[in-house]
Amino acid sequence: MSLTQDSFPDTANIIIGTEGIDAIEGTAGADGILALNGADVVEAGDGADSVDGGLVGDRINGNAGNDLLYGNVGADTLDGGDGNDRLRGGDDFDRLLGGQGADTAFGDDGFDTIYGNQASDLLNGGTGNDLLYGGQDADRLEGGDGDDRLYGNFGNDTLVSGAGADTLFGGRDDDVFIPSTGADVLLGGSGFDTADYSSLTGTLEVFLFDGTIRFNTGLAIVNHSFTSLENIVATTGNDNLVGASTSNVLTAGAGNDRLDGLQNADFLDGGDGDDTIIGRADNDTIIGGAGTDIVDFTVLGAANLIVEFETSAVSLLVDGVVQNRGQISGIENLVGTAGADTLAGDSQDNLFFGQDGDDHFIATRGNDVMVGGAGTDSIDFTFIGLALTINLDPVAGATVTFTDESSVTSTTSLSEIEVLIAGGLNDTITGATLNENIRGAFGDDVISTSAGNDLAYGNQGADTIDLGFDNDTGFGGKDADLVIGGSGDDVLYGNLANDTLIGGSGDDALFGGKGDDLLQPETGSDTLNGGLGDDTVDFNGFESALDIDLVASTATFTNFQGEEQVLALTSIENAFGGDADDQIVAGNGNNTISGGAGIDRLTGGFGADTFRFGRGDGDDIILDFAGGEDQLLIDVELGVTSFEDVLALATENASGDLQFVFNPPGAMTTESITLVGTPSSAAATLQILFFDSDPTN
């Protein structure tokens, strides 16, 4: 490149040297100076000057103004002086001095030395082994071709390597190195320095803790050495970035990368691609970026980790105190620690591995996969806010399905989860062949267990719990629940409300708890405890004749083996018989007794008792009906709806006892109640109430 007279603006003062050695001094205006041949000295003066040194090594001073200085051929020295100058060395070994302004200096060919000096300068060595000094401010130094040395000095500088084996000295402040494919040396100096490989194509391995950087171009592996380097910006390949004991910023690109900040508070950004980030809970900021990313906290050992994707919080539970240990975002999948972790997902499709320890998962909307690992692990669906269908089949895979307000159906898959807490609405839960712990939440849940020694809680809502084949325990919860025993030796708890407990074929224990409970045993050796409230034992369906004595708190019958069996009845106030000819003795309080089907003999006791007679109850005999205290409770399905209807049926048997004979609509036989010791004349004084046994009415 050369400047000619035609290169200058019309307003410039044109000064042309001789073929010899000239000393040229410009004016205070905008000069155009052609030094021509000879080792010339040019003082351009003030103004925006343009100078071409010619074919021999010259010394050119731009002085004040925004100057354009071109050394051309020869070993030139260019000094921009004041102003924002542009300097180009040309051929040979040039020396370029930026001066006071924001200068641009290009060494061109040869082994050049370039100084930016004051302000923010742009320095480019060109070809050759060049030496570049940034100066005082935030400079950009580009080595170009050759084995260059770049010194950023003061300011937040950017140092760009070229095609050779370059040495980059950051100096003070926060510098950025942009290496190339040569054997570069990166020396960070003081400040928070960064190596940026984002412009290169290949894969990168960085180990800041031991000073190793390996860059694979696909054809060769290049080693870069460094000191005092804190941050890495990776390539678009599949990179592996490992920090040091200091705080690092590791930024990956578009590949499937692995990031590990090691100790201290690091900033880890996976970028695009499916990345793996090692979590250490050292107040790190973890960003997954685009793609399906996973954060792995295995290195924490048995720490008690708390991660909430929705709030982006990472914490540790230390001595019962939650300590905030960082932020997390853009992460879809997570591997926990060997401790007792609490892991909460978000609306994305999450994959969580709890590993060892008693982990607790908090489910959210999305097609999630939750793997508990070793330990007693639990999952809580109460925050989803939708009705759930839960199937814990281990062969087909345990699944939880729900449909949102936009009719979008999602499925969460479960593995190695021992405790399940259902959602806040009406859920349906079907157990599997494992030993499960299933807990309903706020809705009216239906819980059915299978094989295994299971534990089922209804919690809030009117729940139905149907226990399975082995020795299970069912808890009703706060509302009116139905708990049904299975084929094992089960324990049934009604808890707080008016519950119904139905024993299974094993030796079951039924505990009503608070409320007015209905306890229905089967043919096993059951234990019945009504608890607080006005509780009832119901032997509906029993084919053996019963002897129920609420004073003695026993129920005696002959089992299938022909043996007499005695059931203990604790805190039971009322009794309903079975299908055979039973004998029932009420307690000392105000009891309700019903014989059920068959010819039953009922004794009321000392209190004001209620004798319940329904359609299909056969012919019952009441032995001690006390008029004025006791009362009859009669089923309208017998064909009577009023006191007058019943009174019209009153007769007296051969023993002079009051008897009511009913002809139920559509029935083939009559049914009757006999009040022993009560004459027919007392019929009009009886207290009679009614109920309807048909649930459809």
Give one DSSP letter per residue of 147-196, joined into a string. S-EEE--SSS-EEE--SS--EEE--SS--EEE--SS--EEE--SS--EEE
> What does the pLDDT average to over 298-304?
93
Please give the structure tokens belonging to residue 198.
Answer: 């984002």
Please give the structure tokens belonging to residue 373.
Answer: 């690992």
* Res 525 pLDDT > 90: no
Q: Which residues contact 100 (CB under 8 A, 6 or more apart)?
A: 81, 82, 83, 117, 118, 119
CA distance 463 to 447: 8
CA distance 358 to 255: 35
Q: Is the dihedral of CA 59, 60, 64, 67 positive or negative?
A: negative
CA distance 593 to 611: 5
Q: How confident is the model at residue 9 (pLDDT cuts 50, 70, 90)?
A: low
* Res 523 pLDDT > 80: no
CA distance 37 to 19: 5
CA distance 432 to 172: 65
Which helix (H) or strand (E) covers residue 646, if one does?
helix 643-647
| Whether the Cβ atoms of residue 684 and residue 647 lie closer than 8 Å to each other | yes
Q: According to the model, what pLDDT value does residue 680 have?
A: 93
> What does the pLDDT average to over 205-210?
95
Higher pLDDT: 598 or 523? It is: 598
CA distance 612 to 621: 12
* Res 679 pLDDT > 50: yes
* Res 5 pLDDT > 60: no
> What are phi and psi for residue 647, nearest 5 degrees?
-60, -35
Three-state secondary structure along 344-398? ECCCCCCEEECCCCCCEEECCCCCCEEECCCCCCEEECCCCCCCEEEECCCCCCE
Listed range (83-92, 196-205, 492-501) with the worst mean pLDDT = 83-92
| Whether the Cβ atoms of residue 677 and residue 657 lie closer than 8 Å to each other | yes
* Rounded CA Rg of the chain: 46
> What does the pLDDT average to over 472-477?
92
User: DSSP assignment of 504-536, as one string?
Assistant: -SS--EEE--SS--EEE--SS--EEE--SSS-E
Q: Which residues contact 676 (CB under 8 A, 6 or more apart)?
A: 621, 622, 623, 624, 625, 655, 657
Distance from chain centroid for Cα 548: 55
- Digit-coded pLDDT (tens) for 142-165: 999 999 999 999 999 999 999 999
CA distance 636 to 641: 5
Work out the number of other CB atoms within 10 angstroms of the CB of residue 30: 21
CA distance 123 to 133: 8
> What does the pLDDT average to over 391-396?
80
Q: According to the model, what pLDDT value does residue 476 have?
A: 92
Closest Cα to residue 684, out of 656, 653, 639, 648? 648
Pairing state between β 574-576 and 41-43? unpaired
CA distance 148 to 165: 7
| Whether the Cβ atoms of residue 418 and residue 399 lie closer than 8 Å to each other | no
Quote the mean pLDDT of the chain.
Answer: 91
> What does the pLDDT average to over 190-196?
95
CA distance 491 to 487: 12
* Res 435 pLDDT > 80: yes
Q: Which residues contact 25 (CB under 8 A, 6 or more apart)?
A: 42, 43, 45
Exposure of 428 in the CB half-sphere (CA atoms within 13 A): 4
Q: How confident is the model at residue 569 (pLDDT cuts 50, 70, 90)?
A: very high
Q: According to the model, what pLDDT value does residue 233 have?
A: 97
* Res 201 pLDDT > 70: yes
Query: Hey, which residues does 610 pair with through a beta bridge?
Result: 592, 631
Is the backbone of residue 298 left (phi > 0), alpha (psi -120 to 50) or beta? alpha
Q: According to the model, what pLDDT value does residue 424 have?
A: 86
- The torsion of the CA quartet 502, 507, 512, 516, rounded to 10 degrees, works out to 50
* Res 1 pLDDT > 50: no
CA distance 275 to 237: 11
What is the biggest distance separating any 2 CA atoms in the chain, rounded to whole angstroms?
A: 159
Q: According to the model, what pLDDT value does residue 49 have?
A: 84
| Helix, strand or coil, per DSSP, at residue 574 | strand
User: DSSP assignment of 457-509, as one string?
Assistant: E--SSS-EEE--SSS-EEE--SS--EEE--SS--EEE--SSS-EEE--SS--E
* Res 91 pLDDT > 70: yes
CA distance 310 to 305: 16
359-362 contact pairs (CB < 8 A, 24+): 361/417, 362/308
> What does the pLDDT average to over 206-216?
94
> What does the pLDDT average to over 265-272?
96
> What does the pLDDT average to over 232-240?
96
Q: According to the model, what pLDDT value does residue 11 have?
A: 53
* Res 10 pLDDT > 70: no
In percent, the amount of the chain with pLDDT more than 70 equals 98
